[in-house]
Amino acid sequence: MGASPFPDTAAKHWILSSIIWLTVVDLFGLVLATEFVTPEAFSHFSWLSFSRVRPSHVNGVILAWLTMMYFGALFYMLPRLVGTRGMWSERLGVICAWAWNVMYLLGIIGLLTGHSQGREYGEFIWPIDIALLVIWSANIVNILATVAIRTIRPIYVSVWFFIASPLWLAVDYAIGNVIWRPGHVWGAPSGALGNSLSDAMLNWWYAHNLFGLWLTPMLLALTYYIVPRVTNTPLYSYTLSLISFWGMAFFYTGVGDHHILQSPTPAWLKTIAEVSSWMLLVPVFAFTINILGTMKGNWDRFFTNLPLRFTMTAFFFYFLVNIQGAFEAIQPFNKLTHFTNFVVAHAHLALLGAFTILGMGVIDYIVAQVYAKPLYSRSLSEWQYWLVTVGFTGFFSVLTLAGFQQGFSWQEGIPEVNVLPQLHAYYIARGIFGAMIVLSGIVQIVNIGMTIFTNTAERRRIETLRVAEAMAPPPVAG
């Protein structure tokens, strides 16, 4: 059994935490899907009330599952890209991972007991916000220090995002949560601007940049790493990477107001948001072409290499979500789909279809590398892939249809409650597809757990020997 030359202790802590959180936040989602079908399912538990679980699900997906997965991947990739023996301080990374877990656990307990700021995507109360920013800053220090002690001077495109993206998010989170106005520290109103409409504009600017300046750039960074690495092919174009980096910085930052396009906010801001949402396609296409160019001649590995298949599936959904989002962000289309399940489908296309599927592949890849042994079971990985891909595709399709059903009905003046019976079948289907997604996460936990706790290298050796024996020619008589 070979050993990895890198310690990767920080990466292990963040990654292994993240796969547990994935199942937890998936289960929150399943609770919500159940409540859409039978609203009284958990009515005796105040902490499982829809309105409290929903923020826990959303914040959990972003801050517990995806953020921990991203930091884990970052702590794995950064030393390899800049030529250091691990992070500047692996110990700091481990401490931060534990602190992050505790911080998030407290935050979620707060949300489930009704301690929330009441601002969508910024629900965590002020003390949790501060804890989050402290840990985040420690991670930034760790990243920048690692970059500073690098031995490979030029920095690869993934590292641009590893440097810029945490910085963007730290500032975004601090401004968006209005941390200089703690207000009533243990609940609402806190962390909000005094002027309601300004607060709304800030709220949605911030919320969209959780995706625009953290989750999406990190998806790019990870894809820029995984695809050339697995296919053993240099990245197609440096210039396109430049366009995707600077395009993201300039165009993604200003799209937030497209969440409140028909609200009484300034029209010029809506125009900026709409135009930026379309300009976004420039970095998106730059990235797409860059990855497709790198994949050229390598598509056979899409079928044989599972991490690459996860990554390219996520890449496809990422492309789709941007095209969809651009249309959704303009007035005529927005008038039809806003407030409906179409938006929920769109959000899941990004966070589940793109980021989560990418994360699953990256974790499968990284775990095999840091433990320097093959994954426990290829067929479990296949199950994981198909469960999440089919589950998500079904989930996305039914919610999109449900969204059109709502939008067209409302357009005819039919009130919300009259549309509910027509949505029932969609909600049941959403629950079933959602359960497949939960199952996929559990399959991954089993697979990763068995990889860590059993000697898979030996298992693989015996399997190979068996195959070799079966294929060996029969012994010659005499």
Partner 1 sequence: MSERKREEHTPGTPGMPRGWVRHPHERMLITPLVAGVGGLLAFFTVVAIVVWLPIHTFDPPPSSDWAPLSSTALAGRNLFAQNGCYVCHSGYSRPQDVRESLYFLYPKISAPGDFWGSDQSPNLLGTERTGPDLSQESGWHPDDWQSAHFYDPRYMDPRSLMPDMKSLFSNKQVDQLIAFVEQRSGKSGLLRYAGQLYAKHVVLVNQGFPPPYTGFQGSHKPPLESNDKILAPPKNQLEEAPNLAQIDRSYWLAGDPLPVTEANLLRGKEVFLDRCVGCHGLKGNGSGPGARFLSPTPADFTSADDACCGGDTGPGDFYYRILRGWPGTAMENFGDRLSVDDIWRVVLFIKTIPNGTLKPYRNPEPNDYIVWQPSKELLAWTKSHQTLPGNISFEKKAIKDPFMQEALRVMPGLAPKDRLLLNDGKTPLSLRDAANGIKALYEDMLNRAWSDAKGRGEKLPPESQKAIAPTVPGQQ
Which of the residues 162 through 181 are near partner 1 (CB under 8 A)? 163-164, 167-168, 171, 175
**In whole angstroms, how close is the CB of 398 to partner 1 at the nearest point?**
15
Which of the residues 253 through 272 are near partner 1 (CB under 8 A)? 253-254, 256-257, 259-260, 262-266, 269, 272
Angle, alpha carbons 59-86-371 (nearest 5°) = 80
Single residue of 30, 106, 179, 249 touching partner 1 by CB under 8 A:
249
Sequence-distant (≥ 6) Cβ neighbours of residue 212 within 8 angstroms: 248, 252, 253, 255
Which of the residues 454 through 473 are near partner 1 (CB under 8 A)? none
Residue 176 · residue 27 · CB < 8 Å: no
Residue 86 · residue 6 · CB < 8 Å: yes
C-alpha span between 97 and 21 (Å, rounded): 13
Single residue of 86, 191, 228, 441 touching partner 1 by CB under 8 A:
191
Single residue of 2, 3, 180, 196 touching partner 1 by CB under 8 A:
196
**In whole angstroms, how close is the CB of 17 to partner 1 at the nearest point?**
25
Q: Does 117 bind partner 1 (CB under 8 A)?
A: yes
Residue 189 · residue 131 · CB < 8 Å: no
Q: Choose the stretch contacting partner 1; rule: CB under 8 A; options: 70-78, 188-196, 312-320, 351-359.
A: 188-196
Which of the residues 297 through 336 are near partner 1 (CB under 8 A)? 335
Binding mask 6-45 for partner 1 (x = CB under 8 A): -----------------------------xx--xx--xxx
Closest CA to 240 of 250, 248, 251: 248
Based on CB atoms, which residue is closest to partner 1, 221 or 370? Answer: 221
Q: Choose the stretch contacting partner 1; rule: CB under 8 A; options: 84-92, 150-158, 321-329, 443-451.
A: 150-158
User: Backbone phi, then psi, for 429, in 5-degree steps?
Assistant: -60, -40
Q: Choose the stretch contacting partner 1; rule: CB under 8 A; options: 140-148, 293-301, 380-388, 391-399.
A: 140-148
Single residue of 202, 240, 286, 295 touching partner 1 by CB under 8 A:
202
Burial state string for 212-227 with b = 16 or more CB within 10 A and e = fewer than 16: bbbbbbbbbbbbbbbb
Distance between terminal CA atoms of the chain? 39
Angle, alpha carbons 47-51-56 (nearest 5°) = 70
**In whole angstroms, how close is the CB of 310 to partner 1 at the nearest point?**
27
Binding footprint of partner 1, residue count (CB under 8 A) = 99
Which of the residues 80 through 109 are near partner 1 (CB under 8 A)? 83
Q: Does 229 bind partner 1 (CB under 8 A)?
A: no
Based on CB atoms, which residue is closest to partner 1, 101 or 337? Answer: 337
Based on CB atoms, which residue is closest to partner 1, 256 or 361? Answer: 256
Element (H, E) at 52: helix 50-59
Based on CB atoms, which residue is closest to partner 1, 8 or 35? Answer: 35
Closest CA to 263 of 213, 362, 317, 197: 197
Q: Choose the stretch contacting partner 1; rule: CB under 8 A; options: 151-159, 306-314, 373-381, 386-394.
A: 151-159
Closest CA to 356 of 440, 245, 286: 440
C-alpha span between 445 and 451 (Å, rounded): 10
Single residue of 195, 454, 455, 464 touching partner 1 by CB under 8 A:
195
Long-range contacts of 192-197 (CB under 8 A, 24+ apart): 192/117, 192/118, 192/119, 197/263, 197/264, 197/265
Single residue of 134, 152, 432, 467 touching partner 1 by CB under 8 A:
152
Single residue of 101, 139, 277, 340 touching partner 1 by CB under 8 A:
340
**In whole angstroms, how close is the CB of 168 to partner 1 at the nearest point?**
5
Long-range contacts of 130-136 (CB under 8 A, 24+ apart): 130/179, 131/99, 131/103, 131/106, 132/63, 132/100, 132/103, 132/107, 132/173, 133/170, 133/173, 133/174, 133/179, 135/96, 135/99, 135/100, 135/103, 136/166, 136/169, 136/170, 136/173
User: Backbone phi, then psi, for 454, in 5-degree steps?
Assistant: -120, 165
Based on CB atoms, which residue is closest to partner 1, 221 or 363? Answer: 221
Residue 224 · residue 160 · CB < 8 Å: no
Residue 61 · residue 25 · CB < 8 Å: yes
**In whole angstroms, how close is the CB of 68 to partner 1 at the nearest point?**
23
Based on CB atoms, which residue is closest to partner 1, 93 or 176? Answer: 176
**In whole angstroms, how close is the CB of 477 to partner 1 at the nearest point?**
57
Based on CB atoms, which residue is closest to partner 1, 19 or 207? Answer: 207
Which of the residues 412 through 431 are near partner 1 (CB under 8 A)? 412-413, 415-418, 420-421
Q: Does 234 bind partner 1 (CB under 8 A)?
A: no
Which of the residues 345 through 404 are near partner 1 (CB under 8 A)? none
